[in-house]
Amino acid sequence: MLVFTEKVNLQKHLESFHKTNKSVGFVPTMGALHEGHLSLLEQSLIDNEITVISIFVNPTQFNNSEDLKKYPRTLDNDVKKIESLSKEIIVFSPSVDEIYQGKTISLSFNFDGLENQMEGKHRPGHFDGVGTIVKMLFEIVKPNKAYFGQKDFQQLQIVKKLVSKYKIPVEIIGCPIHRESNGLAMSSRNQRLSEKAKNDASLIYKTLKKSKEIFKTKSANETIKFVEREFSKHPDFELEYFEIADEKTLLTCKRKSKSKKYRAFIAVFVEGIRLIDNLSL
């Protein structure tokens, strides 16, 4: 299996595919791969002749240096998992210097306000970092299609905005959230949870599902109050936010409108680890 660490070598390798109009699918990741990532690769293998995955823990999207330090890095294991799907998948695993050339800073983006909601509010600079790396990776790989999980729904909407604003010729495909059997959304950060916390964290999805039921007959405010009450009963969980927002604009729902599609978004700390999830309402 081919693992590139330098962008020029990857670009040279991809050149002949671009020239012969082979479709290139791309799955950007930060490694510590789980079934959710593998499902993105599987979709890309179905849709495209060539599949590229990047594994790069992008420092500019971390607003918390401890989180960056502790982010799981499991390259050898990741490569084995990728290989088990297909030996044809091309891996790009650059160093921070290879990507940032000694200047590890973000560009500044305007995503028409999408960046000011939820994750953007609680993780200042996060989406500038995501925009910077995703734009760079798209310029290196030049994919026809790129695959993102819906667990990071706000990121998915922001990447779609990035592509439309910068007229990057790539189709963005959002793929369903993968869950553990207890409902916990799969995330690389789950690796840092104790077994007990992993079990208890089923509360997040259970509460999201209950909020969906409640929102059918009650207001957004009443639904939020319910969720806050549920989490206040569980001192091991610290609810950072629960919001009901318009799927498109990500603006908070003040008054329900039949013409809009809403989604519930949540961020919770468990054992100091920040978990996010969302559910279409």
Binding residues for beta-alanine: 61
Residue closer to ligand PAF, measured from CB, 133 or 253? 133
Phi, psi of 107, deg, nearest 5:
-80, 170
Active-site residue set: 37
Pick 227 or 266: Cβ nearer ligand PAF:
266
Q: Binding site for ATP, residues?
A: 30-37, 149-152, 186-189
> How many residues in total does the chain contain?
281
Residues 134-153 touching ligand PAF, rule: CB under 6 A, are 134, 152
> Do 193 and 273 touch, CB atoms closer than 8 A?
yes
Segment near ligand PAF (CB under 6 A), from 26-34, 81-89, 163-171, 239-247? 26-34
The one among 48, 51, 58, 223 contacting ligand PAF by CB under 6 A: 58
The sheet with strand 237-246 has its strands ordered as 237-246, 262-270, 273-280
Sheet strands (E) in the chain? 3-4, 24-29, 50-55, 90-92, 145-149, 171-175, 237-246, 262-270, 273-280
Give me the least distance between CB of 79 and ligand PAF, in Å please. 17
Residue 120 interacts with ligand PAF (CB under 6 A)? no
Tokens of 164: 């439309």
Site size toward ligand PAF, by CB under 6 A: 10
Could you say whether residue 133 binds ligand PAF (CB under 6 A)? yes
**Rule CB under 6 A: is residue 40 a binding residue for ligand PAF?**
no
Which one, 186 or 220, has the nearer CB to ligand PAF? 186
Q: Interacting stretch for ligand PAF, rule CB under 6 A, among 85-93, 126-134, 199-207, 252-260?
A: 126-134
Round to the nearest angstrom and report the end-to-end CA distance of the chain. Answer: 42
> What is the distance between the alpha carbons of residues 266 and 255, in angstroms, rounded to a whole number?
19
Q: Which stretch binds ligand PAF (CB under 6 A): 28-36, 111-119, 178-186, 237-245?
A: 28-36
Radius of gyration of the chain (CA): 19
Q: How far is the CB of 151 from ligand PAF (least distance, A)?
A: 8
Burial 122-138 (b: 16+ CB within 10 A, else e): ebebbbbbbbbbbbbbb
For the CB of residue 138, give the shortest distance to ligand PAF in the complex, in Å.
11
β-pair partners for 264: 244, 279
Q: Which residues bind ligand PAF (CB under 6 A)?
A: 28-30, 58, 61, 130, 133-134, 152, 155
